[in-house]
Chains A and B, each alone.
Chain A
Amino acid sequence: MPVNSGLAALSDHFLGATMVVYALAMLGYAAEFAFGRFGRTSGAPAVEPVMSSPSSAGAARLTASERVPAMAGAGLGAAERSGEVDGGVDGGGVDGGGQGGPGAMTDPAAALAAAMAGDSEHPPGPAGVRWIGRIAVALTALGWLAQVGSVTARGFAAHRVPWGNMYEFSSMITLVAVSTYLVMLARTRARVRWLGVFVMFPVVLYLGFAGTVLYVAVGPLVPALNSYWLKIHVAAAIVASGVFMLSAVTTVLYLLKDRWENQLAAVAAGRAGASAAMRKRGGIMMRLPTAAVLDRITYRVIGLAFPIWTFAVIAGAIWAEAAWGRYWGWDPKETWSFITWVIYAAYLHARATAGWKGNRAAAISLLGFSALFVDYYLVNLVISGLHSYAGVN
């Protein structure tokens, strides 16, 4: 069937619009994030609770620790030690927890949402800044619609699923990442807005890369890809990758926040003085949830993506069996999918043994994402194999 060039052009226009709107949303999130609490933190050194035992924090603890910055000026924050403060914090936790009702609270999604919510329902900060955040969310939704339009138009233009080459994969992966973020926003009633800038930044970069370097005109599939397993296997791989991408973002945030907390600990212990940079950046760092929470978010997100990735690899093996007569042949693409799988499995193990939480687990998470990157880009562009469907010359 011939390519519908009108729809193809429409798809390209939509993608352009998506990029512009996403970039604006990113700026909005950045503005809200950066200016959110400057009115309060100016002057006072940003001091925050130091978790001696980060992993023992409960949800109640989260709300409490996020409340602490408000108290930081009064000098309470640095004194907190998990053991001593537990009781006091719990009282607050009980009040807060009553509202949700047991049903809602045992829902894993709600639990995740609770873990991710950096603050109560009303993020403090000047009203104007909050409005910027809301506009950024609206822009994200608008950009999402435009991207759905772009992907759909491309699918109809080529009369097939719109994930047949690298440009299309990349667009789909960012779409999954943004969709996941939007779902999280809806579930938490916008309490994860702080994550916005960190999601939109790589998304915009990635889309820019896809739209320029990887771009190919709409065309039919190469015959080897013409199978319904394409829909299943590649779709699963795309969803898993989009979610893994989110986990890489939270891992990087974890590392930043963890360093910050260590510096704070040093300051609190009198081993170091608060540097000017710490004073200045404190407002931003404090907007992030604690390192322990970020660590747990990463675990949850990888826990979500890992079974999907497992399914994608198995579906790929079934397809390979149908097409080439063997389900596994250590083709470079297969090899790197396997490496990615093994590294993320190692991450889950590392997390299960408590000794490997934190930095070392974060390192494995980033290693896993690097392997995924090699799998998607280097294998297609540099190493050639049976899966040479990149569509890039």
Chain B
Amino acid sequence: MSQPTAPTTVPDDVRAQASPPPSQASGGPDAAALDAVGPDVRGAGPVRGLGSARRVSARWGPGRWGPARWVIVRIRRLWHQLTSMRTALLLLFLLALAAVPGSLLPQRSLNPLKVEQYFRDHPSLAPALDRVSAFNVFGAPWFAAIYLLLFISLIGCLSARVRWHARALVGRPPRAPARPSRLTGGQTWDTALTPPEAIEAARVVLRRRRFRLAVAAEGATRPDGSPDFSVAAEKGYLRETGNLIFHIALVLMLVGVGLGSWFGYQGTVLVITGDGFANTLVSYDQFSRGRLVDPAGGLAPFSLTMEKFTASYQPTGQPADFRATVAYASGLREPTRVAEIRVNHPLAIGSAKIYLIGHGYAPHFVLRDAAGGVVWEGYQPCTPRDAMFTSTCTLKIGDTGLAPTGPTREPRQLAFSGVFTPTTELDRARGYVSTYPAANAPGLTLTGYVGNLHINEGIPQNVYSLDTRDMRQLRLNGPLGDDRAAQVLALNNPKQRTVTGLPGGMSLEADGVREFATFQTKSDPFKGWVLVAAIAIICGLLVSMRVRRRRVWVRARPAAGTGVGTGADAHAAAATIVEIGGLSRSDIDGFAAELRAIALDARAAMETDPRLVDSNKQEL
């Protein structure tokens, strides 16, 4: 994993392992310190990680292997560049930058009406912006390109880092440098112990502090041929573990989000009190699904009936609470249960969740013929248009029983358009208005039409809008008097809720009102996955921010003029010079204190001569 931009003077071994190589971009905090450590540190031991790619490209130079290899080398180099931290940094910034227009310009997914408004306000600019997906930033190809690159980069470097970390977990801490004391905070002292004894004392001290240790083997030598008495210690591997968990969880989260959008679906349905729906494609008024949802068998097989809808309002008309009481069965053979759905409190059935997203009123209409027989009856939901639930109603009756007229046998169908007001009051200036959202005095202002609705011609029609091209407006008899264009009905008063004078002597009664609720069913089977990934992200982050990785080295050598070994002269004072030093990339201040404490302990330990203790034992 080479970083072409990084200076290549970075000392090897120690730094290459102090943390995973990708983070070692350039002259790190310890570069200066390591320069002082001595020649041993550099070039000793195998070049790991970062170095290997450089060797690879040298081996596979164009001259020796021809153009095919050359292409491979280029691709490899591109790959290393993509998986470098610098690229990740750049892509992170790009991602942040790319998200900005999504919050400044109206977005189709959030508010299509605002987008239309924007087109009207900026007729020349808007189409140009639209061409670069500026109104759908988060679904734009360039946005996807950035995060896909970022995650490819992340996956690439993760696979390498996981391998390095696994190797570090089973491996030994890297060997001590020639002069550990030259590292920042390093110390030197002398002791009467022999070098192996001093190293043993240091090992015990470090062990007690739960460092992972590697003592130089007996008889090991240094590059210059002198014997190697040293111990290397390392601690805080959990930091890298946490860090890897964090990054891997990040990838898993993105995967979960993607799978969720492929396997999820969403439907909206309007249900009048007393009615219900089944979770099938045809029940929904609007339905959208991910690419991989099977519309026949992929939906959870539940059915639901709304038994009651309760809304309460504050005296000002502000909403206080809505709740729908529903009876549902989560499968064909499942028992029926009762539940409440409220705003913020959806009902979960399997992987689907049912949200209450809106409500309104549906008056009940009865169309009678001249003899009083019922021709048609039903509830018709009206669309609320203000906070007091003044609502627009459209009623279309195709099957009126009236004979077609004229040479083309035009059908004679009926249509009514009305304004429903739940608490009706007569305002001098504005006519009949609603002054409160609850149905305290439900009223309906109606106009009627007869003619061809064009509803049975195979062209889908919006049920909430009326096409009066081939219709004639009716003159209605009713509570306001005879022969009027509009009538106002009071739904609670049996004497004032019928219009007559319709063609064929028919009459229309609006004899009641029920509330309807709009439900949204949403299924995202990978939601749990995403949540688990999110929790892993936080845990990994906490661990990696709290734990500090650090290394300590102790090296002993015989003081000048004294021989090594077990001779009597080794008992003389200052037989051995001990050096201690260490590194911590992530926590310089805390580590300096820790190193001082370790040095104190080690010094104290080296003042008790273990051989004296031993000989005491022998005397007993």
Q: Is A355's beta carbon under 8 Å from chain B?
A: yes
Complex interface: chain A residues within 8 A of B450 (CB) = none
CA distance A74 to B28 in the complex (A): 33
* Beta-carbon contact of A345 and B92 below 8 Å: yes
11 A-B interface contacts by CB (under 8 A)? A56-B29, A59-B593, A102-B598, A323-B344, A325-B346, A325-B357, A342-B99, A349-B89, A352-B19, A352-B85, A354-B31
Complex interface: chain B residues within 8 A of A82 (CB) = 32
Extra pairs beyond A57-B588, A223-B343 (5, CB < 8 Å): A314-B535, A325-B266, A325-B346, A353-B26, A353-B89
* Beta-carbon contact of B110 and A307 below 8 Å: no
Q: Is B130's beta carbon under 8 Å from chain A?
A: no
* Beta-carbon contact of A353 and B25 below 8 Å: yes
By beta carbon, the residue of chain B nearest A331 is B110
* Beta-carbon contact of B32 and A56 below 8 Å: yes
By beta carbon, the residue of chain B nearest A109 is B590
Q: What's the nearest-Cβ distance from chain B to residue A26, in Å? A: 28
Indicate with 1 or 0, residue by residue over A84-109, a CB within 8 angstroms of chain B CB atoms: 00100010011001101110011010
Q: Among residues 79 to 138 in chain B, which have CB atoms less than 8 Å away from a CB atom of chain A?
A: 85-86, 88-89, 92-93, 95-96, 99-100, 102-104, 107, 109-110, 137-138
* Beta-carbon contact of B596 and A98 below 8 Å: yes
Q: What's the nearest-Cβ distance from chain B to residue A267, in Å? A: 23
* Beta-carbon contact of A354 and B28 below 8 Å: yes
Taking A90-B187, A111-B589, A114-B589 as contacts, is the C-beta distance between A327 and B319 under 8 angstroms?
Answer: no
By beta carbon, the residue of chain A nearest B591 is A58
By beta carbon, the residue of chain B nearest A60 is B592
CA distance A102 to B595 in the complex (A): 9
CA distance A336 to B99 in the complex (A): 8
Q: Among residues 317 to 334 in chain A, which have CB atoms less than 8 Å away from a CB atom of chain B?
A: 317-318, 321-332
Partner of B596, one of A94, A227, A328, A352: A94
* Beta-carbon contact of B355 and A330 below 8 Å: no
Complex interface: chain A residues within 8 A of B103 (CB) = 330, 332, 335-336, 379, 383
Complex interface: chain B residues within 8 A of A112 (CB) = 589-590
* Beta-carbon contact of A330 and B102 below 8 Å: yes
By beta carbon, the residue of chain A nearest B243 is A352
Q: Is A338's beta carbon under 8 Å from chain B?
A: yes
Taking A307-B538, A354-B25 as contacts, is the C-beta distance between A102 and B594 under 8 angstroms?
Answer: yes
By beta carbon, the residue of chain B nearest A313 is B534
Q: Is B599's beta carbon under 8 Å from chain A?
A: yes
Complex interface: chain B residues within 8 A of A318 (CB) = 531
Q: Among residues 248 to 303 in chain A, which have CB atoms less than 8 Å away from a CB atom of chain B?
A: 296, 303
* Beta-carbon contact of A329 and B109 below 8 Å: yes
Taking A335-B102, A339-B96, A349-B89 as contacts, is the C-beta distance between A307 and B597 under 8 angstroms?
Answer: no
CA distance A379 to B93 in the complex (A): 20
Q: Is B527's beta carbon under 8 Å from chain A?
A: yes
Taking A58-B589, A111-B590 as contacts, is the C-beta distance between A94 and B599 under 8 angstroms?
Answer: yes
* Beta-carbon contact of B92 and A342 below 8 Å: yes
Indicate with 1 or 0, residue by residue over A48-90, a CB within 8 angstroms of chain B CB atoms: 0000110111111110000000000000000000110010001
Q: What's the nearest-Cβ distance from chain B to residue A254, in Å? A: 16
Q: Among residues 1 to 21 in chain A, which have CB atoms less than 8 Å away from a CB atom of chain B?
A: none
Partner of A325, one of B353, B587, B588, B592: B353
Q: Is B542's beta carbon under 8 Å from chain A?
A: yes
* Beta-carbon contact of A102 and B92 below 8 Å: no
Partner of A106, one of B137, B522, B535, B593: B593
Q: Is B257's beta carbon under 8 Å from chain A?
A: yes
Q: What's the nearest-Cβ distance from chain A to residue B207, in Å? A: 15
Q: What's the nearest-Cβ distance from chain A to residue B339, in Å? A: 16
For chain A, the bracket of interface size reads 35 or more
Question: Total interface residues on B, using CB and 8 Å?
Answer: 77
* Beta-carbon contact of A330 and B27 below 8 Å: no
Q: Is B503's beta carbon under 8 Å from chain A?
A: no
Q: Is A180's beta carbon under 8 Å from chain B?
A: no
Q: Is A158's beta carbon under 8 Å from chain B?
A: no
Q: Is B332's beta carbon under 8 Å from chain A?
A: no
Q: Is A215's beta carbon under 8 Å from chain B?
A: no
* Beta-carbon contact of A346 and B92 below 8 Å: yes
CA distance A352 to B247 in the complex (A): 15
Q: Among residues 91 to 148 in chain A, which have CB atoms less than 8 Å away from a CB atom of chain B?
A: 93-94, 97-98, 100-102, 105-106, 108, 110-112, 114-115
* Beta-carbon contact of A385 and B100 below 8 Å: no
Complex interface: chain B residues within 8 A of A296 (CB) = 588-589
Q: Is B162's beta carbon under 8 Å from chain A?
A: no
Q: Is B601's beta carbon under 8 Å from chain A?
A: yes
Indicate with 1 or 0, residue by residue over B255-271, a CB within 8 angstroms of chain A CB atoms: 00100000000100000
Complex interface: chain B residues within 8 A of A311 (CB) = 538
Complex interface: chain B residues within 8 A of A350 (CB) = 89
Q: Is A371's beta carbon under 8 Å from chain B?
A: yes
Q: Is B159's beta carbon under 8 Å from chain A?
A: no
Q: Is A359's beta carbon under 8 Å from chain B?
A: no
By beta carbon, the residue of chain A nearest B88 is A349
CA distance A93 to B545 in the complex (A): 26
* Beta-carbon contact of A354 and B594 below 8 Å: no
Q: What's the nearest-Cβ distance from chain B to residue A38, in Å? A: 29
Q: Is A306's beta carbon under 8 Å from chain B?
A: yes
Complex interface: chain A residues within 8 A of B92 (CB) = 342-343, 345-346, 349
Taking A53-B32, A56-B33, A90-B185 as contacts, is the C-beta distance between A325 and B590 under 8 angstroms?
Answer: no
CA distance A95 to B187 in the complex (A): 13
Q: What's the nearest-Cβ distance from chain A to residue B348, in Å? A: 11
Taking A62-B589, A307-B541, A335-B99 as contacts, is the C-beta distance between A383 and B343 under 8 angstroms?
Answer: no
Q: Is B509's beta carbon under 8 Å from chain A?
A: no
* Beta-carbon contact of A354 and B86 below 8 Å: no
* Beta-carbon contact of A355 and B25 below 8 Å: yes
Q: Is B425's beta carbon under 8 Å from chain A?
A: no
Complex interface: chain A residues within 8 A of B300 (CB) = none
By beta carbon, the residue of chain A nearest B594 is A106
Q: Is B546's beta carbon under 8 Å from chain A?
A: yes
CA distance A114 to B89 in the complex (A): 31
Q: Is B530's beta carbon under 8 Å from chain A?
A: yes
Q: What's the nearest-Cβ distance from chain B to residue A70, in Å? A: 22
Q: Is A310's beta carbon under 8 Å from chain B?
A: yes
The 10 closest A-B pairs by CB, nearest first: A111-B590, A58-B592, A102-B597, A105-B593, A353-B25, A55-B29, A97-B596, A354-B28, A355-B26, A115-B589
Q: What's the nearest-Cβ distance from chain B to residue A245, in Å? A: 19
Q: Is A42's beta carbon under 8 Å from chain B?
A: no
Q: What's the nearest-Cβ distance from chain B to residue A311, in Å? A: 6
* Beta-carbon contact of B25 and A306 below 8 Å: no
Q: Among residues 389 to 433 in chain B, which have CB atoms less than 8 Å away from a CB atom of chain A?
A: none
* Beta-carbon contact of B257 and A306 below 8 Å: no
Q: What's the nearest-Cβ distance from chain B to residue A351, in Å? A: 9
CA distance A57 to B587 in the complex (A): 11
Taking A322-B346, A330-B102 as contacts, is the C-beta distance between A353 and B542 under 8 angstroms?
Answer: no
* Beta-carbon contact of A325 and B597 below 8 Å: no
CA distance A352 to B592 in the complex (A): 19
Q: What's the nearest-Cβ distance from chain A to residue B290, in Å? A: 13
Q: Is B537's beta carbon under 8 Å from chain A?
A: yes
* Beta-carbon contact of A317 and B33 below 8 Å: no
